[in-house]
Each structure stands twice: as structure tokens, then as C-alpha cells.
Amino acid sequence: MYTTREPAELERVLLVRAYIGNESEEAGSTQEMIALIQSAGGSVVAQESQKRKTPDPRLFIGRGKADELRETALRENTSTIVFDHNLSSGQVSRLEEATNCKVIDRTELILAIFAEQARTREAKLQIELAQLQYALPRLSGMWHHFSRLGAGIGTRGPGETQLEIDRRRARSRISYLENKIEEVESRWKVVSAGRTGMYNITIVGYTNAGKSTLLNTLCSTKLYTADKPFATLDTTSRRLILPDSSKVLISDTVGFIERLPETLVASFHTTLDVVRKADLLLVAVDRSSPSRGRHIDAVRNTLKRIGIKESVPSLTVWTKCDAVDDFRYPRSGVAVSAFSEFGLDVLLNRIIGYRDRSLDWFELVLKRYDSAILSRLYSSCLVRDVTNCEDGFVRVLAGALRGYDSVEGKIYGEDIVRSFVRLAEPPETAHTG
């Protein structure tokens, strides 16, 4: 399904980074760029960097450095330069002229990876929309940029047809894509409507943090996983059975990255809906990565950008603990390994704690053997306990997802119900989060 390219087929790339002001290289960020370029079908054969007070408005880097890049590219037999920065369209075309190479900025690189990895129809629509929205304001200034001939990074997807399309056609394609995505979205809404009343958990985190592998281990699924960025571009939801035999819905979705392009955030709106609807976010952080601090900041930032309030409960899940040499328990969150299954029992019990605290708990005394009302309770609530009491009545302890007031409405007023008490606190359980 996924092709691995032979080294000879990889596009040779010169990677350029500028450190502006007090910036210096952050742990793992060069490795990350190399992995991103590999995912887009390239191989870094040379690297250049420059320290500057501020970016040059015309070329981002200095004129002398641009000349150096041209020479390095010639020497290394490459005609593709990737900048780990976002550049203006003018900067790209001036740099292309100065270096005689194709110049790709960070946003275009990430868009190219998404285009390369997209497998589902929805992901393909979303990425084409993101690429066109990125290209549209740049069409006039960058005409020659989009008229690059041949194959390679940045030419997949709409790039291939840029020669023929003008702004008007790009706009009409954008509205076509928006309509199609809306269609998929409304179909998705119908599917998810059947799931109301279920507690929703979404695994979020930096790309490659081990999210899909965690879901696979928890739910015995076989989602695609790989040691590369953006292996997952769509959302998958599965039922997860907790140790108390209750069921919740758990979802895996697209990973985040530092400076995630705005066009992607916008066009992956439907995919990211699952994050907005979550009752609990499991924030997966690769404990074995030296860049984990940077990853946590990037995830926090992205959650804010997609409109997630800080009040949404979240639990940090430190992943890949089997790969940590000098392992120590973190001060907060849960440490796990999807490979060795270490810590998964603790994680599941913490989930129960979070879920229980978010339910509206009530105690109900009703006639024993009233199976209709009991089955209604079982289907719409979490029934924690049913105990026999005197006179042919049973006492039921149950919780309903907040906002699910209809439960009370449906049950109250039926003469078989002797009492209904809403509890102020969740009942004591062994599972405290």
C-alpha cells in the first residue's frame, strides 16, 4: 500500500535554516526536518545555515548566502532547496532566480507530505483544498514558481495543473472542494449521531508520538503506523471496553507539528472536529524523544489554534517508555508503552476516573423486574450498581453524560419510580483519576 522509494529515486535536497536574533538550534529540530523531507520523497544531501538579526525582506537570507547556496547546489548536484521557514511569494521567486533552484518553504513542504500520504477520499479533498488555498494568493507573483516542470516535491496535486489554471478556475475548484467536504461532513454527522450518549476520548499529540499504535493496542485494531511524520491523516473511532466493562469511544486523528500551516488547520476542519467534540483528550507525548518539551508546547499551541478551551479535561500519556534508557516515573500523567503494554492498566483506570467525574450521577428506586425502564437506563447511562431493597423495589446507581437531561425526563413521572435523587458527587469508586 505504501511505497518505499529506492535512494536513487529520492530528490536531492539542500536544507537551509536561518537563526534569527537569539534563536539557536532546538533539540531534534534538524532531525525532524530531515524526516519531513524524506516523507515528501527527498533526501538531504547538504545543509546551510545563517545567523541573522532579522530576515532580509527580499531574500530572507543575505545576498552572499544566496550565492553560496547556488554554488553548494551545483557542487552537490541538487536543484531543490528547502527552507525551514515560511517565505513570502516574492522571496521564493527571488531566491529561485538567485540560486537557479526550485525553492520550497516549510508550509509547502508539509502540504507536499500530506498530498503524498493522503489515502482516503476525504483526506485527498482536504489536502487539495489546502494546497489551492495556499497557492491562490501567490498565483500572480509566483507564476513561474508554479510553472515548474517535471516531478518532485511540491509538484504533486494541484501543482501539476497549475500551468493551465488561472485564479478563476482555482476559485471554482476551491468552492467545489468545499462543497464536497461539506457533503462528507454531513454524512459523518449522521454516523456520529448514533453515538450520542457515549463518552468520547480523542488521542492528540505531536506527529509520530505513537497515537495510532496506542489505539491499536488498546482496541486490538490494525491502523497503519510508521516511523515517519503524518502516517495518519484521517480520524478513526473505535469502541474501547474499560476494566469495569463499560464502553467509551476512542479516536485517533492527524498528528500536530510546530508551525502547522494555517491552510491545513482550516481545511482539516472536519477531521479535527473529533478533537473539538472530545470529553477527554489523551495528549500523547513520546517520552523517548529529546524534543518532547518542544512537542508539548507545539501541541498546546495547536489545540489553542483549533479552538480547544483549556477547560476540556486532558491527560498526558507518556508513550514509548520501553525505549527510555533511564526511565523514571513522570511527575504527572501516565507512563505507558504500547509495545510492552506497561502502564495501560493505570491509563484505563485513570480514564474511568475522568469519565465518572464527568457524568451526572443519580440514584433511582424502581420496581424490580421493570425491564423496560432498566434497559432504557442501560442503553443511555452507565449503570454502576443495582441492589435489591425491600417491597419488591431495586436501587439503581447510574450516571448520564452531562447534557443528557432527557434521561431524567424519560424516567421521572412514571409511577413505577419511587424515588429519583440526583447526586452532587460521583460515587466513590476504586478508579480515581
Q: How far is the CB of 290 from ligand GTP (least distance, A)?
A: 15
**81 closest CA partner among 40, 44, 38:** 44
**Beta carbon nearer to ligand GTP, 60 or 114:** 114
Is residue 244 at the binding interface for ligand GTP, with CB under 6 A as the rule? no
Residue from 165, 226, 296, 423 binding ligand GTP (CB under 6 A) = 226
- Mark the segment that binds Mg ion (CB under 5 A) among 27-35, 79-87, 229-237, 413-421: 229-237
Residue 141 or 293 with smaller CB distance to ligand GTP:
293
Taking the complex as a whole, the smallest distance from the CB of residue 233 to Mg ion amounts, in Å, to 9
The answer to whether 212 contacts Mg ion (rule: CB under 5 A) is yes
Query: Reading across the β-sheet that carries 334-335, which strands appear in turn?
Result: 236-241, 247-252, 200-205, 280-286, 314-319, 334-335
Contact by Cβ (8 Å): 314, 281: yes
Name the E strands within 230-273: 236-241, 247-252
Contact 14, 48 (CB under 8 A): yes
The yes or no reply on residue 404 touching ligand GTP (CB under 6 A) is no
What SS3 state is found at 421? strand
* Interface with ligand GTP (CB under 6 A), residue from 89, 107, 155, 232: 232
Residues 245-304 binding ligand GTP (CB under 6 A) are 255
In 84-96, which positions are buried (b, 16+ CB within 10 angstroms) versus exposed (e)?
Answer: bbebbbebbbbbb
Q: By C-beta, is 272 or 359 nearer to ligand GTP?
A: 272
* Cell reading at 330: 513522570
By CB under 5 A, is residue 107 in contact with Mg ion?
Answer: no
The single-letter DSSP state of residue 4 is: P
Q: In this chain, which of 159, 210, 333, 399 binds ligand GTP, going by CB under 6 A?
A: 210
Amino acid identity, residue 218? L
Count of residues that interact with ligand GTP, criterion CB under 6 A:
23
**Cα–Cα dist 362/62, whole Å:** 68
Residue 227 binds which one of Mg ion, ligand GTP, none, with CB within 5 to 8 A depending on kind?
Answer: ligand GTP
End-to-end CA distance of the chain: 40
Query: Shortest Cβ distance from residue 263 to Mg ion (Å)?
Result: 21
User: Pick from 207, 310, 209, 210: which is nearest to 260 by CA?
Assistant: 207
Residue 191 CB partners (closer than 8 Å, separation 6+)? none
Q: Is 212 in the site for ligand GTP (CB under 6 A)?
A: yes
Binds ligand GTP by CB under 6 A, chosen from 209, 248, 374, 397? 209
Nearer to ligand GTP, 267 or 289 (CB): 289
- Residues in contact with Mg ion by the rule CB under 5 A: 211-212, 231-232
- Residues in contact with ligand GTP by the rule CB under 6 A: 205, 207-213, 225-227, 229-232, 255, 319-320, 322-323, 337-339
